[in-house]
């Protein structure tokens, strides 16, 4: 049953809009009329998608996008319904009614319609690549081919939830330091553009020889107040140029290589990528996805070009009859724990379990590293802000004390 976007008027004359399932616009009109709502405009699903693509609407972009958390919740609900023995079309219908996000509701409605028309679930999901990635679609396809869709859905729900939790944890942990940096920058901006120029003008009028700290502060303040537009323009151009350079293939590769070498942050980026590699490959193999296909998918989800190159080399080595562990070891990018565990898993036939153990170990390291990094960043930022404020205070107080000494003498 298609999902229609509609606009209507209530009996009180209030304009309302929403999404509703109906066999046709005429059926939708009758349904709404029974509810005391009078239809003024109706848009079919395909037209609604085209209109949404054309509109530049901030509300739709913010509220309509499908987040990792939304997808994780929907996957878990679908897994519960299928595991309970509910037919797939009915499970998708229940899911459409349960979902709140407009975009996800519209997408799931289309998926349900395609399945109802005879398409398999993987192909229906593949029609929406911006919502369901290669990993998601291939796991569902493997589950359908093996007859273990409910088991694959449970694993996929676990995987999407773990990835959503990891992302939320990192974003939530870094939110406070970023907020402190923004507030501190605003305070310093007000000091340098409003407060300090009024204070230093007094010193300029005295014609006295000022301490070097005061001269430095006055020079920097004069630069900021007179050429703030040039500094702002320069920052914008620098950021734009960096983003353009990073968007190129060579620039992105060089930047990702550099990130892995940065102290502390490089290690964090590496263990996040390795944890994602191990967890994703383990989940795919457990779900029945062929190894070469799984390596192709993993290559695109590790999030680092250099590590993706290593995974690609490992895939090529596997195609030529070599093991996975050997190219990982030769690259020097994967720690010894990883390629040793992978080698043991290949020899024992328990590769999925070994990869799962590696993922668990590195996900634990991510939690520990992020917590330690946050606890270190907060005092460092406070010390840095304190040093800047102390420099400003001394720069202002020293000439005042000097003038008082001269006046008392």
**DSSP one-letter string for 170-207:** HHHHHHHHHHHHHHHHHHHHHIIIIIHHHHHHHHHHHT
Confidence class of residue 51 from pLDDT cuts 50, 70 and 90? very low
CATH architecture for residues 176-409: Up-down Bundle (1.20)
All residues at 6 or more sequence positions from 351 whose CB lies less than 8 Å from its CB, including other chains:
285, 324, 342, 345
Locate the domains of the chain by residue range: 3-55, 68-163, 176-409
| pLDDT tens track for 249-307 | 889 889 989 988 988 888 888 988 888 888 888 888 887 888 888 888 888 778 788 88
Q: Out of 19-33, 123-137, 347-361, which region has the weakest mean confidence (pLDDT)? A: 19-33
Confidence class of residue 53 from pLDDT cuts 50, 70 and 90? very low
Q: What pLDDT shows up at residue 4?
A: 67
Q: What is the mean pLDDT of residues 388-393?
A: 83
| pLDDT tens track for 55-106 | 334 444 444 567 778 888 888 888 888 888 888 888 888 888 888 788 888 8
CA distance 290 to 285: 7
Confidence class of residue 50 from pLDDT cuts 50, 70 and 90? very low
The yes-or-no verdict on residue 237 having pLDDT over 90 is: yes
For residues 83 and 154, the answer to whether their CB atoms sit within 8 Å is: yes
The yes-or-no verdict on residue 357 having pLDDT over 50 is: yes
The yes-or-no verdict on residue 46 having pLDDT over 50 is: no
Confidence class of residue 49 from pLDDT cuts 50, 70 and 90? very low
CATH domain 68-163 topology: Receptor-associated Protein (1.20.81)
* Domains 68-163 and 176-409 are alike in CATH topology: yes
CA distance 30 to 403: 86
Q: What is the mean pLDDT of residues 94-123?
A: 85
């Amino acid at each position: 049953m298609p999902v229609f976007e509609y606009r209507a008027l209530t009996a009180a004359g209030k304009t309302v809009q929403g999404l509703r399932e109906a066999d046709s616009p005429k059926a939708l009109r009758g349904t709404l009329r029974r509810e005391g709502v009078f239809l003024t405009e109706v848009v079919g699903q395909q037209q609604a998608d085209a209109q949404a693509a054309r509109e530049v609407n901030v509300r739709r972009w913010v509220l309509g996008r499908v987040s990792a958390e939304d997808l994780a919740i929907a996957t878990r609900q679908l897994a519960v319904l299928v595991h309970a023995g509910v037919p797939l079309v009915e499970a998708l219908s229940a899911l459409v009614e349960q979902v709140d996000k407009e975009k996800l509701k519209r997408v799931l409605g289309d998926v349900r319609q395609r399945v109802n028309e005879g398409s398999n679930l993987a192909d229906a999901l593949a029609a929406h690549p911006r919502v369901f990635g290669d990993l998601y679609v291939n796991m569902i396809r493997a589950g359908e081919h093996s007859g273990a869709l409910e088991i694959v859905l449970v694993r996929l729900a676990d995987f999407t939830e773990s990835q959503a939790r990891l992302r939320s944890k990192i974003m939530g942990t870094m939110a406070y330091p970023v907020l402190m940096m923004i507030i501190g920058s605003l305070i310093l901006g007000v000091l340098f553009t409003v407060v300090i120029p009024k204070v230093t003008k007094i010193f300029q009028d005295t014609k006295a020889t000022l301490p070097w700290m005061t001269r430095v502060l006055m020079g920097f303040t004069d630069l900021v107040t007179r050429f703030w537009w040039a500094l702002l323009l320069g920052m914008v151009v620098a950021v734009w140029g960096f983003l353009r350079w990073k968007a190129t293939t060579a620039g992105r590769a060089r930047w990702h290589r550099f990130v892995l070498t940065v102290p502390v942050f490089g290690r964090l980026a590496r263990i996040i990528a390795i944890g994602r590699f191990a967890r994703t490959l383990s989940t795919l193999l457990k779900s029945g996805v062929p190894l070469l296909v799984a390596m192709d998918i993993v290559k695109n989800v590790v999030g680092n070009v250099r590590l993706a190159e290593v995974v690609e080399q490992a895939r090529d080595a596997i195609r030529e009859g070599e093991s996975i562990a050997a190219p990982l070891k030769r690259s020097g990018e994967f720690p010894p724990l990883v390629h040793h565990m992978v080698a043991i898993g290949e020899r024992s036939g328990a590769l999925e379990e070994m990869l799962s153990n590696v993922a668990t170990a590195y996900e634990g390291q991510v939690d520990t590293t992020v917590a330690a990094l946050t606890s270190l960043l907060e005092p460092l930022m406070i010390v840095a802000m304190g040093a800047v404020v102390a420099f400003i205070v001394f720069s202002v107080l020293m000439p005042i004390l000097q003038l008082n000494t001269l006046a008392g003498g």
